[in-house]
Chains A and B, each alone.
Chain A
Amino acid sequence: MNEIDIALTVNGERVTERVEARKTLVDFLRDDLGLTGSHIGCEHGVCGACTVRVNGEIVRGCLMLAVQCDGATIETIEGLSDSGEIADLQAAFEQRNALQCGYCTPGMIAAAQDLLKRAKENKSVPSRDAIREHLSGNYCRCTGYHAIVDAVESVAQARAGNKK
């Protein structure tokens, strides 16, 4: 029972692999599938660098085991980027200097997109406070966060049809 076969969908592709029970989702994505866009920071759920989507909901890739993802649909930053879903967020991060070393950026964008997607469903535009609150689980050690909040806010406004 220490190694288990799993079948899942990652960024739209079917994947079957044999994994050790102890392997975390983010290690599986990085080491077995070569999807190194999801980063590993603290490995205990504090920093948010490993944030990925599982069945449509963001999770900590370090706090879920790969074996638990049998049958699941996973989206990593690579998938979100290739589909164009976050193209405007990526552009806003670049334009507003919302990243310096970039280590936190994949997780930061996955968390921001989660907020914006939900806001769109509720037909609301998140305030700066709501943006800060939603991104509170993602550490950035470079920017001081202001530029990140600026970038996310500008995309929130643009997606709601407001010019800023």
Chain B
Amino acid sequence: MTLAVRDLAVRFGGVEALGGVTFEVRPDTITSLIGPNGAGKTTAFNAITGYLRPTRGTVSWDGQAIAGLRPSQIAARGVVRTFQKTSVFPSLAVLDNVLIGLHLRGRAGWASVLLGRGWVRREERALAAEAEALIEFVGLAARRRDVAGALPYGEQRLVELAVALAARPRILLLDEPAAGMTAPEKEAVSRLIRKIREQGVTVFVVEHDMRLVMGISDTVIVLNGGRVIAEGPPSRVQADPEVVRAYLGSTGGAPRGPAPGRC
């Protein structure tokens, strides 16, 4: 299942945030979307997942056009995203956050709920077990009863990840999953992303941390000024002169190593 973006453009008034980009995210890969601030990365995510209506262009997932659908409809097709700013259901417990994420896995409508049908209760038990397993997967078992909004920042990001995974993505779009994290936390996130891919989920990441990006990606797509300027495996992209220019001006090295975090 391929996510194919063709000539995708988003314009805010007179500002062209995304100027017609074309790329593909191949199945079972970890693909990263990088670029300087304002390059249009989050705009691309928003347009793909239905939070923004593209000005032109198409997005297709598994051969079906998804541009113009509502975010919930896109999620129901297996395209699930996380947000750049930490985003949990703040006043609910971690367990309830993940149960909400399992929404698409349940079938109970309001009528069967009101009638108190037996299978609804069994479904609830199955969902609860599934939620526990997901909390275990991201390593938050000790926090399951805690209110999500009161958790430390790094753990809230893990809650987000568990909520997104609960929606059973076939492709998961992560918007800066490691932003603001400490080095050990970034390590943990890298490991988690790899584990997620091992479960058969394609991962598409926007991230500024170059060490993380170059360490986990199969393919890196570089955006600058709303256009794709390079695309390929990490080693090739790092050596691309245009990428070097975009990141560091006309002279200097590639975006490598313990990177210029947010350049």
Partners in one complex: no
B residues neighboring A (CB under 8 Å)? none
